[in-house]
Structure 1
Amino acid sequence: MQRTPDLESRTVPEDHQDLRLWLRLLTCCNLIEGEIRSRLRTEFETTLPRFDLMAQLLRVPGGMKMSELSQHMMVTNGNITGITDQLEKEGLVERVKVASDRRSSLIRLTTKGKRTFKKMAKLHEEWIRSMFGGLSEQTRSALFEALGELKAMTRPKLSGRS
């Protein structure tokens, strides 16, 4: 079976190093994300956006408004509504009206949702550990520091854009 070339494999030695670095970083992210998506689908019949939404809610036991969820997940309110509707039908989240604002609801995990998410999160952590486990501690630390520098340099440049 022939593998589909990744983004980085399309580069040539004459391409500047920054482009090659960007495509390597993007390729690694895509490969890791693809593996996580596949495992969530296979093991739990769920999606990464559903997992991410539940992760956000676990951190805020009192619940979050849709707008807060969309900001934290960097997606539209419409996306959050669709995911929330599915999770609510499955009994994993509930909508609770805000007493001070009848138009608003807080979304929070149900007991079943917490239990389900904790099972997923435990395996998710094992998957991440196994994917990075082949790297030495020194390499992981250096990569973490380097990406931190990149994040710090890039964030102010991007924050002014819409």
Structure 2
Amino acid sequence: MSEQRQPAPMPANDRETAATRDDKLELRLWLRLLTCSSLIEQNVRSALRERFDTTLPRFDLLAQLDRAPDGLTMSELSARMMVSNGNITGLTDRLVEEGLVKRTPSARDRRSSHVSLTPAGKKAFDAMTPEHEGWIDAMMAGLSRQEMQQLFQLLGKLKQSVHQNAVEPGKGDKA
């Protein structure tokens, strides 16, 4: 049974503390989203390091491969994780060295590599998953199921709005 982690103290300064009541609601909302995301990420990073001696990017790569039993190309991994191919290459190299993933040349395109979990990688990921889920559950415990569902729906609307109204580079006022 795992030891109960003490909640992290509230940071004295975070992105949201820069906002004032006079700032536009849109700015305050954006800063609150950044703060919540950062706090969750910091907690997960710390717990993964303490409990499993691993990093969030390693966990994320294993999670992507776990969701794709036939494996993924390096480009697919890069797109799913929203990082550069260079980042994926270095991370994959280290996981291959540790025997957690295997890389094979693509049958369709020899310039492309196909990455999949090894049995050891699957076992390691499966050991982390229940604890990771528990950490997320604990951080969301202050919300009711109904509130979580409402927040999920509202964030879905925000996601759609961002996609529809994305700022085009090079357009807009310059200071």
Question: TM-score, normalised to structure 1's length?
Answer: 0.92
AA aligned opposite 2:46? S
> What residue in structure 1 maps to residue 172 of structure 2?
none
Number of matched pairs: 162
Matched residue, 1:70: 78
**Which of 19, 35, 45 is matched with 2:27 structurally?**
19
Which of 85, 95, 98 aligns to 2:103? It is: 95
Q: How many angstroms apart in 2 are the aligned matches of 1:148 and 1:64?
A: 27
Tell me the equivalent position of 2:60: 52
Identity over aligned pairs, percent = 52
Distance 2:122 2:85 in 1: 23
Tell me the amino acid that sits aligned with residue 59 of structure 2: F
- d(CA) in 1 for partners of 2:168, 2:116: 32
| 2:13 paired with 1:5 | yes
Q: If each structure's helix is expressed as a fraction of its own residues, which one has the higher value?
A: 1
Displacement after TM superposition at 1:103 (Å): 2.5
Q: 1:4 to 1:86 in 2, by over 3 A?
A: farther
Deviation, 1:101, is 2.6
Deviations 1:36-92 (A, max 9, x none): 011111111111111111111111111111111101111110000010011111110
User: Mapping of 1:9-158 within 5 angstroms?
Assistant: 9-158=17-166
Q: Which runs of 5+ in 2 are unaligned?
A: 1-8, 170-175
Residue 159 to residue 113, structure 1, CA distance change in 2 (3 Å): farther
Over 3 Å counting, the alpha-carbon distance change for 1:110 and 1:2 in structure 2 is closer
Q: Judging changes above 3 Å, is the alpha-carbon distance between structure 1 residues 148 and 95 closer, same or farther for their aligned structure 2 residues?
A: same
Please state how far the C-alpha of 1:2 moved relative to its aligned partner.
9.7
* 1:159 CA displacement: 8.7
Per the alignment, in what secondary structure is the counterpart of residue 19 of structure 1? helix
Superposed CA deviations along residues 80-110 of structure 1, whole A, max 9, x for unmatched, are: 0010011111110001222333222210000
AA of the residue aligned to 2:39: L
Question: Shift of the alpha carbon at 1:122?
Answer: 1.3
The aligned amino acid for 1:22 is W
Structure 1 unaligned runs (5+)? Answer: none
Distance across 2 between alignment mates of 1:100 and 1:18: 47
Structure 1 position 160, deviation (Å): 6.3
SS at match of 1:62: coil
